[in-house]
Amino acid sequence: MSEPRNDQRSAAIPFIDCHVHAEQAAPGGAARTEPPVPSYRARGAEAVVLIEPLDQCVAAAREHGPFVIPVARIDMDRARPRVIRECLGKGCRGIKFINPRAPYGDRRYWPLYEALQEAGSTAVFHTGYLTSAFATPRHPGSMEYMRAAQVDVVARRFPRLSILMAHFSNPWWEEGWKVMWSNPNVHADLSGGTAIHRSLAMWAETFAPNGGVHESIERLCFATDVTVFDAEGYPFDEYVSFYTRLFDRIGLDQAARDRVMRGNARRLFGIPG
Ligand SMILES: [Zn+2]
């Protein structure tokens, strides 16, 4: 049963954010302001999945305790399986893959996925469009290498590997939906700067076609892709608001809302609760 609407609006909605970044180091190494984790918690944030290089992840987890769920971003074209094992051995709950020089499904990456699958950990894939800020003359990048169809190749080949598709394969939304629905080991989120700015009607149709809630929403996760430890604060509100409006629009029950907002994250990243 859903709670009355007024209660949902006024009370903080508890969530685990499956995708955040840390602030960039200030020029000249200036000290940053202390992030107000207690105030984030008071506003509903139980924990965040921090996606940064290994050392930064480990340091943040040490500093902030269980509020930070570390997921190391690796250079998948250079890394060997021992890098995966090193990251997990230092406390990471998953590995982030992004900006490959070949499609995600390419055989060259299979030993990495194999190592992650054997460890029972989670692969977070950047999916779809990638800002040109990542481009270099020698490696301009290809969104086609990162589309959901490539994640599908990985999901079939490694059916015991838990996968989270960040950004829902923007702009291949329909492809992303098909891959998450058809592979029991694939979850997806609406993080990033595009998904929440598309029509709410489009997402309502995706997860409740013709008005009936579809089982695929069981594997949706909550995520933002914003900077968490920033002088400006942690701007998650518009994401919580978007997910809430989607839930309201399709009439999602409270148990399913809670799975999207935090239950799936707990399973994917091994968080007690
Ligand atoms: Zn990101």
225 CA distance to ligand 1 middle (Å) = 5
Phi then psi dihedrals of residue 215, to 5 deg: -60, -20
Query: Do 231 and 32 form a contact (C-beta atoms < 8 A)?
Result: yes
Query: What pTM was computed for the model?
Result: 0.92
The per-residue pLDDT of the chain, averaged, comes to 92
- Distance from the CA of 131 to the center of ligand 1, in angstroms? 10
pLDDT: which is higher, 152 or 12: 152
Q: What is the mean pLDDT of residues 248-268?
A: 98
Distance 51 CA to ligand 1 centre (A): 7
Q: Tell me how far the alpha carbon of residue 192 lies from the centroid of ligand 1, in angstroms.
A: 7
Q: Please give the distance, rounded to the nearest whole angstrom, from the Cα atom of residue 208 to the centre of ligand 1.
A: 27
Ranges of H-type helices in 25-125: 37-42, 54-64, 81-89, 110-119
Tell me the sheet residues that pair with 52.
72
Give the residue, 24 or 165, on which the prediction is more confident.
165
State in Å: Cα 17 to ligand 1 middle. 12
Contact of 165 with 147, CB cutoff 8 Å: no
pLDDT band for position 229 (cuts 50, 70, 90)? confident
Average pLDDT over residues 126-151: 93
From the CA of 212, how far away is ligand 1's center (Å)?
A: 32
Distance 171 CA to ligand 1 centre (A): 16
Average pLDDT over every residue of 178-186 = 98
- The confidence score (pLDDT) of residue 132 equals 85
What value does the CA radius of gyration of the chain take, rounded to a whole number of Å?
18
Instruction: Using a CB cutoff of 5 Å, list residues around ligand 1, an ion.
Output: 225
